Amino acid sequence: MRAQILAATAELVARDGIVGFRYEEVAELAGVHKTSVYRNWPDREELVADTLLSYAEDLASVADTGDIHRDLADFLVALADGLRTPFGRALEQALQPTLQSPPAQQVLTRIFDQRVAAIRRRLEVAADRGELPRVDSAFLAEMISGPMHLIVNRGVRPFTRADAKRIVDVVLGGIRATAPHA
């Protein structure tokens, strides 16, 4: 039941925005009684927060194949694919500055922190292996995800693996070129 409610909430928030969905619609779409929604989430913002956080976990993982370029490109492709799902649309909707309440801002901060933590763990391994110099994980996450968000949000063309590889190559090349040499 919980998964059904969270999936329905993501779809409705993606369609109608955070302030536009109603508990009755969530219950109908989830195939549950509306009291089930109210009982588990008496606060609408908590329902949205739980929805965004539950789906964000899937978008935060970074594999370790032993090739940092490939792993970050795979991460970008997965993230771009995720932004095309109901959750991704809900997250993009929630990122609109005019719609951010303090609880929504806290959720978005937690989602970003999850992504940065996953990237940080992978970058630490890459640095230990000598694939990269030590780098600010949050900065690198912003540098690689920013261009991807621009391409996805513009909707002019699909985000491709070639785009992901070019972005990662440019960012990692810049990091290597500007790293202090020992």
Average pLDDT over every residue of 77-103: 71
With beta carbons less than 8 A apart as the criterion, state whether 71 and 63 touch: yes
The rounded distance, in Å, linking the Cα atoms of 6 and 180 is: 46
Return the pLDDT at 9: 87
Given pLDDT bands bounded at 50, 70 and 90, which one contains residue 98?
low
Buried residues in 77-111 as b, exposed as e (16+ CB within 10 A): bbbbebbebbbbbbbebbeeeeeeeeebeebbeeb
Helix residue ranges, H only, the chain: 2-16, 23-30, 34-40, 44-59, 68-83, 86-94, 102-129, 137-154, 161-178
Given pLDDT bands bounded at 50, 70 and 90, which one contains residue 94?
low
Give Cα 177 to chain centroid, integer Å: 28
Please report where in the chains the tokens 């997965």 appear, as a residue: 78
Average pLDDT over every residue of 160-172: 97
Q: How far apart are the first and last CA of the chain?
A: 56
Return the pLDDT at 39: 93
Return the pLDDT at 84: 80
Return the pLDDT at 61: 75
Cβ count within 10 A of residue 150: 10
Please give the model's pTM, rounded to 2 decimal places.
Answer: 0.74
Task: Spell out the domains of the chain, with CATH numbers in brackets.
Answer: 2-50 (1.10.10.60), 61-178 (1.10.357.10)
Q: At what angle do helices 44-59 and 86-94 cross, to 10 degrees?
A: 120
Q: Look at 82 and 28; give whichever has higher pLDDT.
A: 28
**Residues 108-142 pLDDT 10s:** 777 777 778 888 899 999 999 999 999 998 889 88
**Residues 9-68 pLDDT 10s:** 888 887 777 777 788 999 999 999 999 999 999 988 788 878 877 777 666 678 899 999
Return the pLDDT at 118: 84
The rounded distance, in Å, linking the Cα atoms of 156 and 141 is: 23
Return the pLDDT at 103: 63
